Chain A
Amino acid sequence: MAHDPVCGMEVKVPSEYYIDLDGKRYEFCSENCQNKFALDPNIYIEKMNKVEPTYRTTSDGIEKLTLPINGLHCTSCVNTIEREVKKLPGVRVARVNYATEMAHVEYMNGETSTEAIIGAIKKAGYQTGQSTLKIGIRGMYCGSCVSKIEKELKQKSGVISASVDLGTESAIIKYVPGLIQLDDLKDVIEKLGYETYPIQGFKQEKKTIEKETKGKVEESADENQLAREKEYKTLMRKFIFAAILSLPVILFSYPDLWGLPEQFQKGTELLTYIWLGMAFLSLPVMFWSGSQFYSGAWAAFKNRSANMHTLIATGISAAWLYSAVAVLFPEIFPSEQLADVFFDVVFVVVALVVLGMALEIRAKGKSSEAIKKLIGLQAKTARVQRNGKETDIPIEEVVLDDIIIVRPGEKIPVDGEIVDGSSTVDESMITGESIPVEKHIGDEVIGASINKTGSFKFKATKVGKDTALAQIIQMVEQAQSSKAPIQRIVDNVSGYFVPAVIILAILSFVTWYVFGPVPQIIYALIVFVTVLVIACPCALGLATPISLMVGVGKGAENGILIRSGEALETAQKLDSIVLDKTGTITQGKPSLTNVITSNGFKEDEVLALSASVERSSEHPLAEAIVRGAEDKNLTLNDPKEFNAVPGHGVEANVDGRKVLLGNLKMMNKFSIQLNGLEEQSRRLADEGKTPMFVSIDNKAAGIIAVADIIKPDSKEAIAQLKKLGLEVVMITGDNSRTANAIGKQVGIDRVLAEVLPEDKAFNVQKLQNEGKKVAMVGDGINDAPALAQADIGLAIGTGTDVAIEASDITLIKGSLKGVVLAIQLSKATMKNIKENLFGAFFYNGLGIPIAAGLLYPFFGLLLSPLIAGAAMAFSSVTVVTNANRLRRFKPKLK
């Protein structure tokens, strides 16, 4: 067996693919690797001869360290590094090998460190191959644990630095991957008696496995979710306890209603004893089932703030106190009628509100599912080829330039570029594009996408937080944290809400006590408690953020990254949408569209000869012709006597035939009779194409037309945008004729042609000056100012990072349908927010006055505190449930 020097694969000897060089035979796994080697064998030979990073201590206390170095460009670099390292105390030998890109250092143990040597190399302007890793550690309790772990880690070969944080229960370790592995680092910590876990992936995986063994696979559970589940269970237990106890309480609180025998009726001694029992029975309900109301209210009170807990705690306390006094000291009340009890209010309100809180936790967990799904897309491990060996390592350990092997059906772990092999890749989880994309050498692959058919190797170009998925997660999280302008109304209200409700309750009590019917104190108390327990600050506070969270998450699932709540809100108010032509409406890359022949020439003949001529040209149109011929597998030959005639075209000799390729002027210059081809040429130009006449051996052979092809779904998307009531404008630097032709084909009436890149933003501004809310859709660097100028900038994600940075919404899939979807989603989310806000305001705005007794003077109606408690419990559940409806949002066009 031998190793392929290009990809490192094991190859059976003798291999079908080999190269003999300088008396040595190199074996390859494929023709592709063989060709790559042939192009520049020295790169691979040097790589093969590279020394592995090593580290050892000799008996005389000398440490010998070999480190890989990146970025060596010349032999003088070697001297610079050696000089810097030698300056360190205790360094005996510092040698850098330019060919192998390795530094060999020998130093006295204890006088310097790996960290200092790497520091010196850095100071010289070079990087050593190093990686940073975060490991979670459980079981640390104090500062001494921290220093013990740090000290032990730093003593290990290959560890550059180690920093342990007690607060986050983690260690950040910088190390040289070749010198030490993740498992070694974990061993060091575990041997000290602590438990380790990777910060990402590991724990979730473990939990999922645990659940799988129980027979059902549930979504991966993170620590917060576990806390939420625990809280849900606790609340449900509290609810059941309060609910069971409330049944007899309701029975004896309304003896008339249930037709209880006489001895249970009001005024009897038995009922008084029963009520006394209720007074004591209600204590565990208040202080266990309702403990969170008291602790929450007290904590808030100390912070000079008030919340839902304040309202409930005050309400049930007032009801209990009054009832307890009425049972224990009935004689202080002027009449028996006044000595009424409200223990039922305590039991029922606690039970219902606790149930509401439990249901809310459940529903809220669902609304953040989108981000959980995105995190769950990450691969856990990568099969990396290091030192000629394939090893599965945790994704956190993958470093830049690692060669990663992916087999069919596997998830691509990080972003990179294919260096060997080809396949089709399902990128739908990132782009929303359902059709798998073909990938060949040199193509980019995105982490989290799934390899479908073939095996390939790729070089990691982005790892950790730089991968596309990590950035998408970060963007979504940021957007979910932002505020939609509509939220400002709630913000202004919420700060005043709870104290205002308390004041209202007090004033209602006073009003009923002074002006109410007999028995005043009973009515006053009922009204006081009802106002407190019906007001729901939670519904108001949740209304906007919960819908925003679902809406932004839904966008991410469909390949639309909405960067802020403001963008989401503005998108549904748009009047005009400006579409950049190249790369947005069209593919942005010219392609061969027509080959028209005359004088008996054959299509393939005309195309092959034209493409052969154009092989010598680097013009984008020439590239399109060559690509067109290659796609048809035509044989191309090298042109001779190639001559470019500026402003006209090109001429050359191919296989002894004289070929002219150019415009009308070119044909006239060489007096070629076109025999009606001019008419065809005009027709093609009217279609937005660029026609070129071809003449072979001084005879008109035909026309070759090239055009930037319109994306297949652009027309449909534009029609849909119009249907949404938007004025669609196209902007381009192209000439009016081509621009209008494209505009006509896709159904755009207003075309702004011949616009210089720097004037795009100005044109957007002109539209804004017409009083319109304008969105700009583009992909190029030259679109960035216009994207920033527009009320909403939508960047096509296949474009440049600059455009994405300047945009408010990024469409990962390079299709205009994403614009339609973004606007539809924006409208749906804003509708949902408005429903929630209306519900919350309407509920509180109507509920509080009714609870205060507004209807009593007119209809004799007074709300029961029990109904008010139920209303409070379910108002926030309603809001969250309504927001979750958005999760079912389906684009009308996909």
Chain B
Amino acid sequence: MVLDQILVIIGGLALSTWVAWYFWFSEKEAVKIQAAAGGIQEAVIKVKGGYTPDVLIFEAGKPIKLNFVREETAACTEEVIFSDLNKRATLTPFKTIPVELTIDKPGEYGFQCGMGMVKGKLIVQ
């Protein structure tokens, strides 16, 4: 085996490990949302290639208002679906679309685009 082959093997393995770490195992930052006056927990989620922020922490039992702002026209993120909560919203590009929820039971509730490729999570404590 010549040097370039060894280098390609090492490079390939290193790159694969990095891809796995970056996309699967690296910790995502969770954002804790505080309740405003009136008890509403309101957050703005930017939609562009993903949800920013994509992990949000809320308090159980208090109303949640998620304002989705889709800053792209790609059809992938046209819809946001909260399948555990039977809730769906169509996100008009460059508009704020509010999604109102009240979750009484603590737990993790995923949300995703219509194809399930772009994902986020609500952690209810």
Contact = CB atoms under 8 A, between A and B. Distances in A.
B75 A503 contact: no
Consensus secondary structure, chain A interface: helix
Interface string A473-487: 000011111110001
Contacts of A482: 83, 86
Interface in B55-100: 67, 72-76, 78, 81-84, 86-88, 90, 92-93, 95-98
B86 A168 contact: no
Nearest to A537: B117
A459 interface: no
Contacts of A302: 49-50, 52
A491 interface: yes
B72 A481 contact: no
B116 A545 contact: yes
A480 B83 CA distance: 9
Interface in A161-208: 167-169
Interface in B20-77: 20, 22-24, 26, 28, 48-52, 54, 67, 72-76
B49 A295 contact: yes
Given A482-B83, A503-B20, A506-B19, A167 B119 contact: no
Residue from B23, B28, B90 having most chain A Cβ neighbours under 10 A: B23
A490 B116 CA distance: 9
Residue from B8, B73, B74, B116 having most chain A Cβ neighbours under 10 A: B116
Contact of B28 (A227, A304, A507): A304
B73 A514 contact: no
Nearest to B15: A506
A305 B75 contact: no
Contacts of A230: 73
A710 interface: no
A360 B75 contact: yes
Interface residues of A, number: 62
Contact of A303 (B24, B54, B82, B87): B54
Contact of B92 (A223, A297, A300, A361): A223
Contacts of B116: 487, 490-491, 494, 540-541, 545
A503 B16 CA distance: 5
A502 interface: yes
Nearest to A484: B83
A364 B28 CA distance: 32
A481 B28 contact: no
Interface stretch (A26-34, A306-314, A682-690): A306-314
Contact of B115 (A309, A478, A502, A542): A542
Nearest to B8: A513
B118 interface: yes
B87 A481 contact: yes
B3 interface: no
Interface in A408-455: none
A381 to B, nearest CB: 26
A483 B20 contact: no
B12 A510 contact: yes
B66 to A, nearest CB: 11
B49 A297 contact: yes
B22 to A, nearest CB: 6
B70 to A, nearest CB: 9
Contact of A296 (B28, B76, B87, B98): B76
Residue from A230, A361, A503 having most chain B Cβ neighbours under 10 A: A503
A299 B88 contact: no
A228 B23 contact: no
Interface string A214-228: 000000000110011
Nearest to A513: B8
A506 B81 contact: no
B63 to A, nearest CB: 15
A55 interface: no
A486 to B, nearest CB: 13
A868 B117 CA distance: 21
B82 to A, nearest CB: 7
A564 B86 CA distance: 8
A234 B73 contact: yes
A499 interface: yes
A542 B8 CA distance: 36
A435 to B, nearest CB: 34
Contact of B86 (A307, A479, A502, A545): A479
A621 to B, nearest CB: 44
A495 B119 contact: yes
Contacts of B54: 303, 305
Residue from B9, B54, B93, B117 having most chain A Cβ neighbours under 10 A: B117
Report, nearest first, the 9 A-B pairs whose CB atoms are least far apart.
A299-B49, A303-B50, A541-B115, A481-B88, A510-B12, A483-B83, A499-B23, A300-B49, A167-B96
29 contacts: A224-B92, A227-B73, A227-B93, A228-B75, A295-B49, A295-B72, A300-B49, A302-B49, A302-B50, A303-B118, A304-B22, A304-B26, A306-B23, A308-B76, A309-B74, A478-B87, A478-B88, A482-B86, A483-B83, A483-B84, A487-B83, A498-B23, A506-B12, A509-B12, A510-B12, A510-B13, A514-B8, A541-B115, A542-B115
Interface of B: 1, 5, 8-9, 12-13, 15-16, 19-20, 22-24, 26, 28, 48-52, 54, 67, 72-76, 78, 81-84, 86-88, 90, 92-93, 95-98, 113-119
Given A483-B83, A499-B20, A546-B114, 12 more contacts: A299-B48, A300-B49, A304-B23, A307-B76, A309-B74, A480-B88, A490-B116, A499-B24, A513-B5, A514-B1, A540-B116, A542-B115
